[in-house]
Amino acid sequence: MPDPSVGIVGASGYTGSELVRILSRHPAVRLAAVTSESHAGKRMSDIHPHLEGVCDLELVKAADLGAVDLVFLALPHGVSMDFVKTRANGGGRIVDLSGDFRLSSAAVYERWYGKAHACPERLDGAVYGLPELNRDRIAGAPLVANPGCYPTSAILALAPFLRCGLVSPEGLVVDSKSGVTGAGAAAKAATHYPSVNEDFKAYGIATHRHTPEISETLEAASGAAVELIFTPHLLPVNRGILTTAYARAKEGVTQADLEGAYEDAYSGEPFVRVRTAPPSIQAVRGSNFCDVFVKLVPETGRVVAVSAIDNLVKGAAGQAVQNMNIMMGIDEQAGLDMVPLSP
Amino acid sequence: MPDPSVGIVGASGYTGSELVRILSRHPAVRLAAVTSESHAGKRMSDIHPHLEGVCDLELVKAADLGAVDLVFLALPHGVSMDFVKTRANGGGRIVDLSGDFRLSSAAVYERWYGKAHACPERLDGAVYGLPELNRDRIAGAPLVANPGCYPTSAILALAPFLRCGLVSPEGLVVDSKSGVTGAGAAAKAATHYPSVNEDFKAYGIATHRHTPEISETLEAASGAAVELIFTPHLLPVNRGILTTAYARAKEGVTQADLEGAYEDAYSGEPFVRVRTAPPSIQAVRGSNFCDVFVKLVPETGRVVAVSAIDNLVKGAAGQAVQNMNIMMGIDEQAGLDMVPLSP
Amino acid sequence: MPDPSVGIVGASGYTGSELVRILSRHPAVRLAAVTSESHAGKRMSDIHPHLEGVCDLELVKAADLGAVDLVFLALPHGVSMDFVKTRANGGGRIVDLSGDFRLSSAAVYERWYGKAHACPERLDGAVYGLPELNRDRIAGAPLVANPGCYPTSAILALAPFLRCGLVSPEGLVVDSKSGVTGAGAAAKAATHYPSVNEDFKAYGIATHRHTPEISETLEAASGAAVELIFTPHLLPVNRGILTTAYARAKEGVTQADLEGAYEDAYSGEPFVRVRTAPPSIQAVRGSNFCDVFVKLVPETGRVVAVSAIDNLVKGAAGQAVQNMNIMMGIDEQAGLDMVPLSP
Amino acid sequence: MPDPSVGIVGASGYTGSELVRILSRHPAVRLAAVTSESHAGKRMSDIHPHLEGVCDLELVKAADLGAVDLVFLALPHGVSMDFVKTRANGGGRIVDLSGDFRLSSAAVYERWYGKAHACPERLDGAVYGLPELNRDRIAGAPLVANPGCYPTSAILALAPFLRCGLVSPEGLVVDSKSGVTGAGAAAKAATHYPSVNEDFKAYGIATHRHTPEISETLEAASGAAVELIFTPHLLPVNRGILTTAYARAKEGVTQADLEGAYEDAYSGEPFVRVRTAPPSIQAVRGSNFCDVFVKLVPETGRVVAVSAIDNLVKGAAGQAVQNMNIMMGIDEQAGLDMVPLSP
């Protein structure tokens, strides 16, 4: 039996190129097709010179994708849901890396994304693809909504404490710092080199679209309403998200309780490493690891949880392949054993 | 009458070299002497090649400093208080850039700095040199304790709201990110280029020595006990601190109230700019400006205040010269009109 | 008598903003007007947030510039010559920062810039504004062509040796490395942050437009035909050009001869520092200095000359103000005493 | 039959950690032991946090290395030759990553390294481990001298032209730019973050120890005496070397001739990619690729050849594993299929 085939729709961006990096070395699937509306006719390595000799597939239009067993959608939000709507019948299973199928309802989507949802009928069937929380439901899902990069880092840092009732669901602060690839491959004034290098700033304060994704998932984990504030910042690095999250410990909670909650949640997880020193983005770069760390300040009962991921890997393409592995019944670590590149 | 003379003790580090950058162009004082125990006999420009042709003073030992009207101490904490003790009689006025005279008592000092205070008799007479809070007391002080870099950014962001009772003094979060010059000019494993570049991490979580300095000064501003958590992070840039501070607004407080508090506090301040968009460290680099910004999230009553400074200027040498100007009755902006270098 | 007035045409880019940084603190001229076709109606500080409180002039269209004593043209090549043509009569003296008036003839211009020269009648009267070579002619010039950034670094490194006949004019290699601000303020794919950060590459090999500017000026200095190859590279830094130039020493030339040539050329120059160790771009950042260094390899008779400048200052705006000072009979260093910002 | 076993002597530096990154995923050898004199007793992941869960071997002293089929020496020059001397009998085959066995004679070694060679009796039997030149001799060698990072980039760029007699062996210029990991993992003043970031400089002009290694290998390739000048520079990036090399084409040589020489040399090489646009270090980062490019300037007969490698991979650990594969008769690409990490 031949290996299952997969395709990448929207392969010209960073997420698409990371999918190719991983899938071109995957032992159990075959990358059959890559699409790009604007670059159709060129080879992947024309757009991404580092892939010369690694993947020389020719880009085609999405309409010419053909039949594959699973499709990765590396499309902007808004575009993804249109594709899903069209592809609905007989198009194979889907891992969507956009934000289109991550929220609980079309109403919430419309409030945060500023447009009506084009395919609300598939929202209910979509599974939020964070394996550490939803592994069982991912396995059988026809459509997996791959989590956002910031939410992956925030949720893996905080969910164990909320699930165990160790911290208050109110007054959470999620202060996140992301590398520039999180803003995509298209040149913009905000990502012009001299505007980012030797600079640092906050943006989208209290208005970023990942806010409801974090809240809803933490609420699902904790079974209670969660109140949080989320502030993203732009770091002058290519890759990586570091999230520093603050919560208030419930009465009597100890450092050991917090560490125990991480241990319970992650000791069997291949991609989450519970660290004994504050994590750094360099230690996960290029890999599918999420490093987490927690510290209780006993005098004030404050909890500081820190997590680090590579936004393009565990925050996007790597997690998407992890979801694919689960969906296809392949070893979950297949193709994902990349050692972090440090320094 | 000749211009007043000043000296820099400990001029071989970054703070010392910034003091020289500023004082070598100051219109109303004369830089008479620079000292360094380890580099005595060399010229400033041997240690700091960029100063070639700008300042070619020869470094001498501190014992050979001679009489000057004012001394800047750019020494490590612990060393500074020894110098002050020795110099006590007849040695001119002092601006100390270390942490030795910033805290309220020898007991607090010992708890956070891990050693007994060598010169407790001068603590009471030392004035905390944040001109925006303490201008009047600075003018007559014999010894000014120049604020720490993180505290300058945190206090200027939060003090106006606490002073006006607009936010709760409990549950404050100060999440700060600093460039690498904040760690000093000596090579260390933690500041080896490949260990910092393309990396980002938190350090000293809840244990950093600037914590009590922030608390005590905010308490003085608010007249109430303050409860806060402070987390510093290491940014892969040379200069700059961005602080993102979180507080809870009191009932009924509006965005206009918060902006009004900034306006009241800073409209007459030459070095604090109240911004209408989130600040960035690039926009203040090389200058004595502190940019501040505030946003209320009405749904949850959370306040996010952001400030940006150059840690070596408003966070150290620039503020020290500002204090000197006040102490000497010189125009407060003299020598400090450097335009930010951007990009 | 009021200070002379100056205007900047095309003030929204990096060169324009650097001119404002310098001119806003200049003791002897008054910045009267700034223009931008696309941003007219906004304030300088809307476009360049670091200038808030430093320069709040409103941008106007170039057509509304009005009468000023001297105009800086911070325009793209091609646009500049159109402006000069229009402004020809009664518009004040001009310092043009584009490449339009730097070459010897309309024919050479057309070959390298790919278009006919729009204003050839003013080429003869334009003076190449490198004060270290042409100070006397600059003083009286109605139109000064401010040198390119790469040429400034290459010419200051090599001209003294060619002028004294110490090296062969054949077989010169000019290997230059520039920070990203040299590519301008507009966002482009080539200057997207992740495309530059942690990267390094050559571009425009043997085809860059600064090639004939370097050759012609070195030929004027040496009185002989010069044969050179020029390779620019893109450095992941904001500012700075380092040029490593290679030449072949003539028979019998010594290290002392080379150093003597630098000494003769530059000992009276306020902005060229002859160094005894290889220069670095950090040591000149933000200043109008050019640092130069030379080493002879006696075994092979090769000469390595290295120079460092800030491409936006000595390579653009600073040199333009230096030219203005000369043209107006002002102290040549006025407004240009910025100390390098390091680190 | 079990997989062959290998050990790494001196595993605490960057080269050692890269060897672990590669060998921990190698399909046909087993990493049996890692040594460090200063860190013995710690785990690899204590020293290199990114290796947590990847390699948790405990470091031992070199004396406790035990029997392995092949040893990688990731030691400083000078130390390596002492180890080789001691290990001479029965210690397995050796790939030495230091400079101790790369030069042709003890006399040349002493001239450039400033000390007598401790083990001259093994110089003759050592093979210079550049597979693209010496594959056949590597296969049977007991001791392989793994090439230096700069020489790898310079030789792969120039050797094909010299071998084919397309360029003159005189007047070569090798202008190289390296990331900071090339300077090693130990913190030094020269690699303190603020001293490198936003800076760029040349160092070791005409005195760098890689000079004779480049010359001798190019002489072996060309069969003629080679005269070159080599200038290394320090780039503000973690990884990567870009070499821009200049030569003079022989009469009548065309661009097609040069490209043909590359094609002949490299079309069968798995790790050298002949590019049609100037290479960049980002496109090879983390991989064992060397990208090369050549351009003839017909007017002047100058040749510009550019190459890019990751200094820690093709310039060190990757090439060492490539040599090991050849020595052991394993598929040369085994364990080396890492896709470049870009951006």
Average pLDDT in chain A: 96
| Residue A178 within a domain | yes
Which residues does chain B have within 8 Å of residue C340's beta carbon, measured at their own beta carbons?
50-51, 54
In the structure encoding, which two tokens stand for residue B84, read together?
């002050």
Q: Give the pLDDT mean for C84-113.
A: 91
How close is the nearest chain C Cα to the Cα of B198, in Å?
8
Same domain, D155 and D143: no
DSSP state for residue C314 in the 8-state scheme = I
Domain-embedded: residue D124: yes
- DSSP reduced 3-state for C237: coil
> For the stretch A199-217, what's the b/e string if a residue is b when 16 or more beta carbons lie within 10 angstroms of its beta carbon?
bbbbbebbebbbbbbbbbb
Among the listed ranges C86-95, D13-22, D117-126, which one has the minimum average pLDDT value? C86-95
Which SS3 state, helix, strand or coil, does residue C143 take? strand
CA angle A226, A227, A231 (to 5 degrees): 120
Per the model's pLDDT, the better-predicted residue between A90 and C76 turns out to be C76
Tell whether the torsion through CA atoms of D183, D186, D190 and D191 is positive or negative: positive
Closest CA to C281 of C312, C313, C240: C240
Query: Which 3 state secondary structure label does DSSP give A286?
Result: coil
Residue D304 has its nearest CB partner, among C200, C231, C285, at C231
With a cut of 70, say whether residue C278 has pLDDT above it.
yes
Is residue D180 exposed (0-12), middle (13-18) or buried (19+ Cβ within 10 Å)?
A: buried
Chain C residue nearest residue B311, CA to CA: C343
Contact C236 A198 (CB under 8 A): no
Q: Which residues contact A30 (CB under 8 A, 6 or more apart)?
A: A2, A3, A4, A5, A6
Cα-Cα-Cα-Cα torsion A184, A190, A192, A194, nearest 10 degrees, comes to: -140
In terms of Cα–Cα distance, which of D140, D148, D47, D133 is closest to D96?
Answer: D148
Within 8 A by CB and 6+ apart from B258, the residues are B161, B166, B249, B294, B296, B303
Q: For D54-112, what is each residue's pLDDT tens digit? A: 998 999 999 999 999 999 999 999 999 999 998 866 578 999 999 999 999 999 999 99
Interface contact D298, partner C, CB < 8 A? no
Catalytic residues of D: 149
Tell me the residues of chain D between 227 and 286 that have a Cβ less than 8 Å away from chain A. 238-239, 273, 275, 277, 280, 282-286
Mutate to test the interface with B, among D15, D180, D188, D192 (most CBs of B within 10 A): D192
CB atoms B192 and D198 under 8 Å: no
The verdict on B173 and B305 lying in the same domain is: yes
Q: Does C304 touch chain D (CB under 8 A)?
A: yes
ipTM: 0.96
Other CB atoms closer than 10 Å to residue C76's CB: what's the count? 14
Same domain flag for D171 and D102: no
Asked if the C-beta of C171 comes within 8 angstroms of chain D's C-beta atoms, the answer is yes
A196, two tokens: 């980012």
At residue C90, the pLDDT reads 59
Judge whether residue A343 has pLDDT over 90: yes
| Average confidence score pLDDT of chain C | 96
Contact B197 D194 (CB under 8 A): no
User: Cβ B193–D14 below 8 Å, yes or no?
Assistant: no
D192–B contact, CB cutoff 8 A: yes
Q: What is the pLDDT of residue D88?
A: 61
DSSP lists the bridge partners of residue D295 as D304
Note the pLDDT of residue D68.
95
* Whether A294 and A191 share a structural domain: yes
Model confidence at C92: pLDDT above 90: no
- Give percent of chain A above pLDDT 70: 99
Flag whether D339 is in a domain: no
Range of the domain at D231: 150-311
CB-CB under 8 Å, B25 with C343: no
Chains in touch with B (≥3 Cβ pairs < 8 A):
A, C, D
Phi, psi of C270 (to 5 degrees): -70, -20
Q: Which residues of D fall within a CB distance of 8 Å from B191?
A: 187, 192-194
Closest CA to A130 of A286, A280, A14, A271: A271
* Model confidence at D287: pLDDT above 80: yes
CA of B168, closest CA in chain C: separation in Å? 31
**Co-location of B119 and B195 in the same domain:** no
Considering only CB atoms, which chain D residues are within 8 Å of A53?
A: 273, 289
* Shared-domain flag, residues A320 and A258: no
Mean pLDDT of D226-235: 97
Active site residue A149: yes
The pLDDT tens digits for D254-263 are: 999 999 999 9
For residue B303, give the chain A residue with the closest CA: A229
Closest CA to B340 of D188, D21, C18: C18
Percent of chain A whose pLDDT exceeds 90: 96
pLDDT at residue A88 greater than cutoff 80: no
φ, ψ dihedrals at B193, nearest 5°: -50, -55
Q: Which residues of chain B have pLDDT under 50?
A: none
The answer as to whether A191 is a domain residue is yes
Whether D152 and D214 have beta carbons less than 8 Å apart is answered as: no
Q: Is residue D335 part of a domain?
A: no
Q: Taking the CA atoms of chain A, what radius of gyration do you get in angstroms?
A: 19
- Specify the pLDDT at position D86: 87
Nearest to A338 by CA among A25, A3, A4: A25
> Which 111-150 residues of chain D touch chain C by CB within 8 A?
none
Which residue's structure tokens are 């910033």?
B102
What distance in Å separates the CA atoms of residue B295 and residue B273, rounded to the nearest whole number? 15
Amino acid symbol at B195: S
Whether A35 is in a domain gets the answer yes
Whether C187 and C96 map to the same domain: the answer is no
- Whether A237 sits inside 8 A of C180 (CB atoms) is no
Contact B24/C339, CB-based, under 8 Å?
yes
Do A87 and A128 belong together in one domain? yes
CATH number at A231 reads: 3.30.360.10
The pTM is what? Answer: 0.97
C185 has a chain A CB within 8 A of its CB? yes
Mutation for D interface: C192, C198, C310, most D CBs within 10 A: C198
Looking at the 3D structure of chain D, how many domains does it have?
A: 2
B61/B137 same-domain check:
yes
Contacts of C115 by beta carbon, 8 Å cutoff, 6+ apart: C78
Tell me, yes or no, whether A295 lies in a domain: yes
Residue B31 tokens, joined = 């830089």
List of chain B residues whose C-beta atoms are within 8 Å of the C-beta of residue A235: 200, 235-236
Angle between helices B149-163 and B131-139 (to 10 degrees): 100
Question: For the purposes of burial, counting CB atoms within 10 Å of the CB of A46, is it exposed (0-12), middle (13-18) or buried (19 or more)?
Answer: middle
* Amino acid identity, position A271: F
User: Which CATH number characterizes residue B122's domain?
Assistant: 3.40.50.720
CB contact under 8 A, C339 and B21: yes
Same domain, C74 and C164: no
DSSP secondary-structure letter at D64?
Answer: G
Q: Identity (one letter) of the amino acid at D219? A: E
Task: Provide the 3-class DSSP secondary structure of residue B296.
Answer: strand
Parallel, antiparallel, or unpaired: how do β-strands C302-309 and C290-297 relate? antiparallel
Percent of chain D scored above 70 by pLDDT?
99
* C-interface mutation test, from D198, D280, D342, most C Cβ less than 10 A away: D198
Write the pLDDT tens digit of every residue in D128-158.
Answer: 999 999 999 999 999 999 999 999 999 999 9
Beta bridge partners of B70: B6, B93
Q: Specify burial of residue B298 (Cβ count, 10 A radius: 0-12, 13-18, 19+).
A: exposed
Q: Which residue of A has its CA nearest to C189?
A: A187
Residues A158, A305, single domain; the answer is: yes
Three-state SS string over D192-238 comes to EHHHHCCCCEECCCCCCCHHHHHHHHHHHHHCCCCCEEEEEEECCCC
Q: Please give the pLDDT value at position B87.
A: 81
The side-by-side arrangement of strands in the sheet containing A93-96 is A59-60, A30-35, A5-9, A70-73, A93-96, A143-145, A126-128
How far apart are alpha carbons C162 and B294 in whole angstroms? 59
C337 falls within a domain: no
Using a 10 angstrom Cβ sphere, with 0-12 exposed, 13-18 middle and 19 or more buried, the burial of residue A160 is buried
- Write the residue in D203, D235, D304 that is nearest to C200 by C-beta: D235
Residues C215 and C322 in one domain: no
Pairs of residues, one from chain B and one from chain D, whose beta carbons lie less than 8 Å apart: 58
Report CB contact under 8 Å: A238, C185: no
Q: Does C289 touch chain B if contact means CB atoms closer than 8 Å?
A: yes
CB within 8 Å of C107: residues ≥ 6 apart:
none
